[in-house]
Chains A and B, each alone.
Chain A
Amino acid sequence: QKEVEQNSGPLSVPEGAIASLNCTYSDRGSQSFFWYRQYSGKSPELIMSIYSNGDKEDGRFTAQLNKASQYVSLLIRDSQPSDSATYLCAVNGGSGGYQKVTFGTGTKLQVIP
């Protein structure tokens, strides 16, 4: 079982719709959860972080965390073509400590105009 699992996609949504990206993790002791966006040929950039159960909203983005289910998700409301990118889920603070950040393989999102 991979430490951090994501559906590779591509996930296609029409412009204006809600995109839902999901991530599961195996280390129950994980403390910190991040979503990075990576445009093709570019480096990852952080868009959301979440540390406690529940929802965290920032503009059109909402991160959701459920530690009991070992599940974290990212919702993008009013999706725009500029949101088309690969979204990487990252986890740390588990058995590897905070110096070890583990990434999922990413979900490719395509927003169709």
Chain B
Amino acid sequence: EAQVTQNPRYLITVTGKKLTVTCSQNMNHEYMSWYRQDPGLGLRQIYYSMNVEATDKGDVPEGYKVSRKEKRNFPLILESPSPNQTSLYFCASSLGAGYTEKLFFGSGTQLSVL
């Protein structure tokens, strides 16, 4: 089954404790992206990747890191999480970054930073 897999689904952590949210897709997609979703603010892009070893900042990259060492994986790293990073996170992928491309989303990760 074609899918984007995110883990974990829920995560509670404390301020400053490094964490990684994993994202993997099995559709051989070139493009991958991370979003956070907050009430009243909608989905905001954190980072995106056009291909292996090609990543770039989205609208809200501060406090986040990503890597794209393999085409299928695009982990989101919070080196020192803070309470303002409490949010619902989505990983998404698409075949490419052309104007017709639809995004496939993972099931989301609800992160709480205490």
Residues of chain A touching chain B, judged by Cβ–Cβ distance below 8 Å, are 4, 8, 31-32, 34, 36, 42-46, 49, 51, 88, 90, 92-93, 97-106
Contacts and interface: CB of A to CB of B under 8 A. Distances in A.
B12 to A, nearest CB: 17
Interface string B17-48: 00000000000000101010000111111001
A96 to B, nearest CB: 9
B74 interface: no
Given A51-B99, A97-B97, A105 B105 contact: no
Contact of A45 (B41, B42, B105): B105
Interface of B: 31, 33, 35, 40-45, 48, 50, 56, 58-59, 90, 97-103, 105-108
Contacts, number: 59
A92 B96 CA distance: 13
15 contacts: A34-B103, A43-B105, A43-B106, A44-B43, A44-B103, A45-B105, A46-B102, A92-B99, A98-B97, A99-B56, A99-B97, A100-B45, A100-B58, A102-B59, A103-B43
Contacts of B56: 99
A99 B50 contact: yes
Contacts of A88: 42-43
A32 B101 CA distance: 9
A3 B108 CA distance: 24
